[in-house]
């Protein structure tokens, strides 16, 4: 048995330049570390992110208190625990906090330790991280959903929809998938430039041109796909994350323009967009509390359109069960820090796959060089991964890790299935 000897934490910074936690777990004279990500368009039901609100040195954003909790309390409690018993490690952390949303210690403190422990377990077993989750053989690579135009809370261009993504459905390998996206992104850059807009990027690496209506963004993407020699809806699909939590007022939504309209009117517009731009996947089309709107929308669609719950499910088993009973979606976005431990994340993935939901592993808009989620996607047989554009190292690090995994698998490597 390899016993944990200590856990050390420090304050580092995420891709938005905000303080975050890096935890390092030690055992057998080895160590592994992991950095916690952070969202901007967060769901109400997510696990709690603990920050030093009253410490003005970092504008109330530092994480020095949770770092201290890891260095003192958590390090002591995990000492002598078996590094390979992830469930026990996570349950000790969950119990230590004792609250439903991990409000006492903070999900950021708990998750950074939980991920670091998982990494160290692989290191000691001398196996790659992706082989230390659920899948034991026949590993498959996920399809990337690359966020190539940023809007909503991730840019300040006034675009209502938060993420406009492309998914290279016809790619036969992960490196081919990345190559297809690379070509489209380069063509999109020229098209945006030609229109006289800036080609600077938003939080997730997608372009953030000063266009403020959804259809202009969609038209640009369709053009870029065509210019790249691909067929929209066949070789490549357009996917959206509406993040509608940010767009609701008095039960009405301002998804399609600045005007607030009813759920029925919003659905009508969605159906038009799906048809016109051959959209294959929509995430968070309605707000996290509006279960009836989700069910109504799903009932109007064929099962081929992927409806993804992010803020709706917050990687939470109880919420996923409600969504399943209400037929509210057919896919779930998986974000480790929404729930706070590796064990609970794996439980949600297993249940989702059992009920036939697709699992999409996701980064956060505030992320880091830590590529944990790339291995998680392969190790859990997840169909897709959402980790931004081919820009900004915190996004590209995940794609690069998937390229390494593909190489490691050699001729046994296969792409996952989308439909
Ligand atoms: P977030 O964005 O990390 O800011 O929540 C990602 C998403 O909404 O999927
Ligand atoms: Zn989302």
- Which pLDDT tens digits describe the chain residue by residue (419 residues)? 899 999 999 999 999 999 999 999 999 999 999 999 999 989 999 999 999 999 999 999 999 999 999 999 999 999 999 999 999 999 999 999 999 999 999 999 999 999 999 999 999 999 999 999 999 999 999 999 999 999 998 888 889 999 999 999 999 999 999 999 999 999 999 999 999 999 999 999 999 999 989 999 999 999 999 999 999 999 999 999 999 999 999 999 999 999 999 999 999 999 999 999 999 999 999 999 999 999 999 999 988 899 999 999 999 999 999 999 999 999 999 999 999 999 999 999 999 999 999 999 999 999 999 999 999 999 999 999 999 999 999 999 999 999 999 999 999 999 999 87
For atom 2 of ligand 1, which residue has the closest CA? Answer: 365
CA of 42 to the centre of ligand 2 (A): 8
On whether residue 135 sits in a domain, the answer given is no
- Choose one of 126, 155, 170: the last residue of a domain: 126
On whether residue 132 sits in a domain, the answer given is no
Residue 245 shares a structural domain with residue 318: yes
Q: Does residue 375's CB lie within 6 angstroms of at least one atom of ligand 1?
A: no
On whether residue 261 sits in a domain, the answer given is yes
Angle between helices 107-125 and 372-379 (to 10 degrees): 70
Which helix H or strand E contains 12, and what residues bound it?
strand 4-13
Residue 293 shares a structural domain with residue 265: yes
| 271 token code pair | 């159906």
Beta carbons of 237 and 169 less than 8 angstroms apart: yes
- Choose one of 126, 155, 171: the last residue of a domain: 126
Q: Does residue 241's CB lie within 6 angstroms of at least one atom of ligand 1?
A: yes
Q: Which atom of ligand 1 is nearest to the CA of 153?
A: 4
Q: Please state the domain count of the chain.
A: 2
Q: Which atom of ligand 1 is nearest to the CA of 311?
A: 8
List, in sequence order, every beta strand (DSSP E) within 313-391.
331-334, 358-362, 384-386
Residue 229 shares a structural domain with residue 375: yes
On whether residue 134 sits in a domain, the answer given is no
pTM (2 decimals)?
A: 0.97
Beta carbons of 46 and 319 less than 8 angstroms apart: no
Q: What's the domain range around 21?
A: 6-126
User: Sheet harboring 237-241: ordered strands across?
Assistant: 143-144, 384-386, 358-362, 331-334, 306-309, 279-283, 237-241, 163-167, 146-150
């Amino acid at each position: 048995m390899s016993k944990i000897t200590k856990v050390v934490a420090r304050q580092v910074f995420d891709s938005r330049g905000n303080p975050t936690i890096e935890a390092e777990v030690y055992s057998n004279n080895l160590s592994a570390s992991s950095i916690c990500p952070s969202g901007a368009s967060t769901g109400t039901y997510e696990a709690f992110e603990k920050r030093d609100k009253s410490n003005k040195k970092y504008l109330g954003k530092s994480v020095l208190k949770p770092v201290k909790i890891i260095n003192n309390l958590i390090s002591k409690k995990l000492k002598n625990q078996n590094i390979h018993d992830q469930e026990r490690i996570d349950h000790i952390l969950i119990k230590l906090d004792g609250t439903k949303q991990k409000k006492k210690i903070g999900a950021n403190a708990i998750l950074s330790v939980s991920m670091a422990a998982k990494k160290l377990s692989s290191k000691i077993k001398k196996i790659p991280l992706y082989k230390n989750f659920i899948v034991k053989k026949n590993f498959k690579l996920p399809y990337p959903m690359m966020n190539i135009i940023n809007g909503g809370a991730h840019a300040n261009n006034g675009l209502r929809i938060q993420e406009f993504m492309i998914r290279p459905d016809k790619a036969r390998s992960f490196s081919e998938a990345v190559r297809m996206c690379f070509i489209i992104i380069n063509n999109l850059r020229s098209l945006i430039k030609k229109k006289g807009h800036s080609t600077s990027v938003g939080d997730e690496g997608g372009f953030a041109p000063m266009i403020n209506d959804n259809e202009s963004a969609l038209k640009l993407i369709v053009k870029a796909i065509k210019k790249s020699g691909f067929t929209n809806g066949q070789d490549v699909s357009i996917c959206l994350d509406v993040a509608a939590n940010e767009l609701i007022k008095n039960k009405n939504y301002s998804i399609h323009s600045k005007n607030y309209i009813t759920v029925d009117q919003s659905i009508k517009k969605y159906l038009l967009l799906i048809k016109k731009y051959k959209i294959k996947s929509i995430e968070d089309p309605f707000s996290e509390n509006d279960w009836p709107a989700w069910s109504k929308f799903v009932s109007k669609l064929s099962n081929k359109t992927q409806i993804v719950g992010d803020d709706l499910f917050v990687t939470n088993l109880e919420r996923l069960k409600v969504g399943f009973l209400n037929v509210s979606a057919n896919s779930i976005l998986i974000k480790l820090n929404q729930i706070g431990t590796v064990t609970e994340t794996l439980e949600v993935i297993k249940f989702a796959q059992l009920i036939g939901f697709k699992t999409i592993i996701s980064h956060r808009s505030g992320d880091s060089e830590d590529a944990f989620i790339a291995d998680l996607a392969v190790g859990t047989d997840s169909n897709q991964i959402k980790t931004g554009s081919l820009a900004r190292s915190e996004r590209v690090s995940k794609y690069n890790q998937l390229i390494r995994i593909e190489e490691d698998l050699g001729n046994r490597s296969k792409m996952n299935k989308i439909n």
